[in-house]
A and B are shown apart, each in its own frame.
Chain A
Amino acid sequence: SAVISQKPSRDICQRGTSLTIQCQVDSQVTMMFWYRQQPGQSLTLIATANQGSEATYESGFVIDKFPISRPNLTFSTLTVSNMSPEDSSIYLCSVDDAGSQYEQYFGPGTRLTVT
């Protein structure tokens, strides 16, 4: 299975600022996904990022708030823009495992607190 790392692992940010989260995978993958997990809740998909194309956002999430880059097959970034306390969550990067049909693997997450 793919090994996924995220930076930073956690951060505390002021409202109104932006944070960029990095996701690095140890192998080339076609599809990368960004999820949000609010306190005590399950995972909600923010967007799907394919290399070379615009990210596809789920209902309730917009590019201006959560811009995503996917410059190559092993790396992606998610930016949380103009943050408010409601953005305090764990943000998770996930990838499809090319060797295992339809399975997804997750990074360790970035714990964001907005004050």
Chain B
Amino acid sequence: EDQVTQSPEALRLQEGESSSLNCSYTVSGLRGLFWYRQDPGKGPEFLFTLYSAGEEKEKERLKATLTKKESFLHITAPKPEDSATYLCAVRGGNTPLVFGKGTRLSVIA
């Protein structure tokens, strides 16, 4: 059974204080690992897809990396507008997306 575990559950940062979010996963036949951002009361917003170990993707202050067992979402010099819940999900074989519970990020000015 595909599983995704995200840590920490919540993270509070000062503006400019870089950090990383972790996503550990087990999946049979990884088709992709996905990161989403979700603001309160809204649907998840797609950020990145990673397909194979060693792959990295960047978007503004965010950088996602992937190994065979986990993915990290690095946030460099965050701003208050980066505050959101970040969701990790995996897709394996012919199965649909399986989501983790998310990390609630708060960036304080």
Contacts and interface: CB of A to CB of B under 8 A. Distances in A.
Given A33-B96, A48-B96, A101-B32, A109 B101 contact: no
Given A102-B32, A103-B34, A42 B87 contact: yes
A101 B97 CA distance: 13
Nearest to A105: B46
B91 A102 contact: yes
A104 B87 CA distance: 13
Interface string A66-102: 0000000000000000000000001010100000111
A1 B46 contact: yes
A45 interface: yes
B99 A104 contact: no
A12 to B, nearest CB: 15
Interface residues of A, number: 23
A113 B99 CA distance: 23
Given A42-B101, A42-B102, A100 B42 contact: no
Contacts of B32: 101-103
B96 A102 contact: no
Given A33-B96, A42-B99, A45-B96, A104 B43 contact: no
Contacts of A41: 101
Contacts of B31: 101-102
B96 A111 contact: no
Contacts of B99: 42-44
Given A92-B43, A109-B42, A104 B97 contact: yes
Nearest to A58: B96
Nearest to A1: B46
Nearest to A103: B49
B8 interface: no
Q: Closest 8 A-B residue pairs measured CB to CB?
A: A106-B43, A102-B32, A42-B101, A109-B43, A42-B99, A43-B99, A102-B31, A106-B44
Interface of B: 31-32, 34, 36, 41-46, 49, 51, 87, 89, 91, 96-97, 99-102
5 contacts: A42-B99, A45-B96, A102-B31, A107-B43, A109-B41
